Amino acid sequence: MNPAVPAQLRADVRARRPALEQLSLDLHGTPETRFEEHYAVEQLAGRLAAAGFEVDKGVAGLPTAFTATHRGAADGPTVAVLLEYDALPGLGHGCGHNLIAAGGLTAALAAAATRPDHPGTLKVIGTPGEEGGGGKILMLERGVFQTVDAAVMFHPSDRNLRARHALAASHLRMTFHGVAAHAAKAPWDGRSAAAAAQLFLTAVDSLRQFVPPTARVHGIIAHGGAAPNVVPDRTEVDIFVREATSAALDALLPRVFAAAQGAALATGTTVEHTETAPRYAERNNNMVMADRLAEYAADVGLHLEPPSPANPAGSSDIGNLSVELPVIHPYVQICSRDTPGHSVRMREAARSARAHDAVQAITTALAALVLDLLGDRDLLSAAHEEFHASTARPALGQESR
């Protein structure tokens, strides 16, 4: 028999719906890009502090990262609810992070209010800069997740999914250096970094036919020169290289670097590359937790489809967490199927009544799962057993983080 969401918890989330929606719309109307989410942090941290959570802002040396801690009545595990709140440059909340923040906050507040004497520790962890900044990776490397036994969150989407694969991703900047010259009087004295950037992107287009269908290589000219009558002596191409696994990404990257070197050789320029963000790992979904969440979601009328290779994947810094501890990252439908992510249509959907109905449902299920992870040792042990099997690590109790 599938578990049912406790009536008190269901009623608590329902009562918090107006506040959830108000916060979501407020964040939607105040978009802040990666590592600049100061307003969002004030709103989120303030509400958690008012509810009795111990708030610590600026953790891991990141001004817009925070933790909020609710300690239970007895010893037990530490379970984290993850919040994202950064927006996309020039677009705003076209990824719906306003919903992640408001919904995750509501789940944590409802869980703590429904069972204030829960065992263990409930943490809310505010993770900035998911959109190309790798905030979770930086926080992981700096010890924020050292004592966390499991972490949960959700993401808005064009479909309901209990899990979805995500691609490993490398965020690169190719900087081409040429020689400046007057473009009309003596162009032969110059070596065009703009020509090198164009040739590199053409080479990438040619490469796409000969890489596996799981690969994705895409980029923009971030800086193309200063004036049309000057042969550009410097250009920058920002490019993402993605593959299904980190190993496959390692095999693909040298081919992309070779394309850049070839473009530089052909144009008499030079090229160097840098990483603009930490590398994102592929996602290791914990299906023990995901399936329990799906049971609670069904109880509140939300059907989460099982994962399928047919569902297209992006990348997220939660992948790096997922190879260190059990995590879930389900998706909840807020718009018509096949609405593109990172689009104006998705941005507008992220403030709709339909979106807030869906988030109320997934928030209720998420809060129920959090209480189970805190109080049901068998569930958490099963999640850890699956995690260690999937990462070939020692069993629970044989290692410490």
3-class state of residue 90 by DSSP: coil
Where exactly are the structural domains of the chain?
A: 7-166+280-391, 168-275
**Could you read off the pLDDT of 49-62 as tens digits, one per residue?**
999 999 999 999 99
For the chain, list residues with pLDDT below 50.
393-401
pLDDT per residue over 105-161, tens digit each? 999 999 999 999 999 999 999 999 999 899 999 999 999 999 999 999 999 999 999
**CA 188 – CA 270 distance, rounded (Å):** 17
Q: Are 391 and 379 in contact (CB under 8 A)?
A: no
pLDDT of residue 1: 72
Question: What's residue 315's pLDDT?
Answer: 94
Q: Say which CATH topology domain 7-166+280-391 has.
A: Aminopeptidase (3.40.630)
Angle at which helix 17-28 crosses helix 7-15, to 10 degrees, equals 50
User: What secondary structure letter does DSSP report for 191?
Assistant: B
How many other β-carbons are positioned within 10 Å of the β-carbon of residue 213?
7
Phi and psi, residue 117, nearest 5°: -100, 25
- Reported in sequence order, the residue ranges of 158-293 that DSSP labels E, i.e. its strands, are 168-177, 216-223, 234-243, 270-275
pLDDT of 23 = 98
Neighbouring C-beta atoms of residue 274, cutoff 10 Å: 10
- How far is the C-alpha of 316 from the C-alpha of 307, rounded, in Å? 17
Buried b (16+ CB within 10 A) or exposed e, 332-359: bbbbeeebebeeeebbbbbbeeebbebb
Q: Which residues of 229-248 are buried (b: 16+ CB within 10 A; e: fewer)?
A: ebbbbbbbbbbbbbbbebeb
Separate counts of helices (H) and strands (E) for the chain: 12, 12
* 327-328 and 216-223 beta bridge pairing: unpaired
Q: Is the domain 168-275 a CATH 3.30.70.360 member?
A: yes
| Predicted local distance difference test score (pLDDT) of residue 394 | 44
3-class DSSP assignment, residue 141:
helix
- pLDDT score of 85: 98
Amino acid at 349: A
**pLDDT confidence of residue 397:** 37
Reference 175, options 135, 213, 225; nearest CA is 225
Tally the C-alpha atoms within 13 A of residue 282's C-alpha that lie toward its C-beta: 18
Cα torsion 228, 232, 238, 242: sign: positive
Answer whether 6's CB lies under 8 Å from 99's CB: no
Token pair belonging to 217:
């290589």
